[in-house]
Amino acid sequence: MKSITEYFRKEYDRIWEKILNHPFVVQLYSGKLPLNKFKYYVIQDFNYLVGVTRVLCLAASKSPSLDYAKKALELAYGTVTGEMENYIKLLNELDIKLEEVSGIEPNPTNTAYMNFLAYVGYVTDFWTTMTAFLPCAWTYEEIAERNKFRLETNDVETYRKWCSIYLSKEYKDLVKMLRNIVDESPLEPMTLKPYFFTALRYEYMFWDAAYREETWPI
């Protein structure tokens, strides 16, 4: 019998493949992505991570046990101390000041995605919130696995360094923990499914918005 996450993975394979093969992803791992697009992505993703940290703290406050609260807070702490620190180093490499990033308005897709996660965090429960967060972490792991062969000929050190984070054992362990949390949910898969589906679509849209360097139309 398939687990909840295995079921979701198979159910939405079509969207998953579009994410794994998106031009932004392929060009990033092959070293052919224009630097301006990567800078745009980094600024947007930094702002997204701030929102995600708040949502994970909300999830912890609604957890059914101390153990689950601890896991949600570990994920939040990992985002703040791990990913955030990596991004701050990355911003320095790209000659982007932190004050500049904080002052840039998130694009329409980023805003909608963060608002969706915040809504789920405030209105629903621990299990649903963690399910909505899963596509972000999980797709990054699979993106790295699918495209790691491209790093062999990638001569852009900044890109190689960034991509390698998601191939690390630490990151894989994080994704495994998150999947286990969702698989242990007492809620029916059909109850969680719409939230996973929406978040997965936002993941695709986030990459696409970065590739197009999306702006507000008015």
Would you say the pTM of this structure is higher than 0.75?
yes
d(CA 75, CA 72): 5
Say if 178 falls within a structural domain: yes
Tens digits of per-residue pLDDT, 114-173?
999 999 999 999 999 999 999 999 999 999 999 999 999 999 999 999 999 899 998 999
User: Is 217 part of a structural domain of the chain?
Assistant: no
pLDDT surpasses 80 at 84: no
Average pLDDT, the chain: 94
> Does residue 144 lie within any of the structural domains?
yes
Chain centre distance of CA 95: 24
The tally of domains found in the chain comes to 1
Residue 3 lies in a domain: no
171, 165 contact by CB (below 8 A): yes
CATH number at residue 61: 1.20.910.10
How many CA atoms lie less than 13 Å away from 2 in the CB half-sphere?
A: 9
Ranges 10-19, 85-94, 127-136, 181-190: which has the least confidence: 85-94
Checking if the pLDDT of 108 tops 80, the result is yes
114 assigned to some structural domain? yes
Domain-embedded: residue 184: yes
pLDDT at residue 22, rounded to an integer: 98
Residue 8 located in a structural domain = no
pLDDT at 86: 78
CB 43 within 8 A of CB 209: no
Length of the chain, in residues: 218
Over the stretch 127-137, which tens digit does the pLDDT of each residue have? Answer: 999 999 999 99
Instruction: Report d(CA 215, CA 129) in Å as an integer.
Output: 28
Full residue range of the structural domain in which residue 33 is found:
13-211
CA distance 218 to 205: 20
- Tell me: the pLDDT tens digits for 176-210? 999 999 999 999 999 999 999 999 999 999 999 99
Q: Is residue 7 part of a domain?
A: no
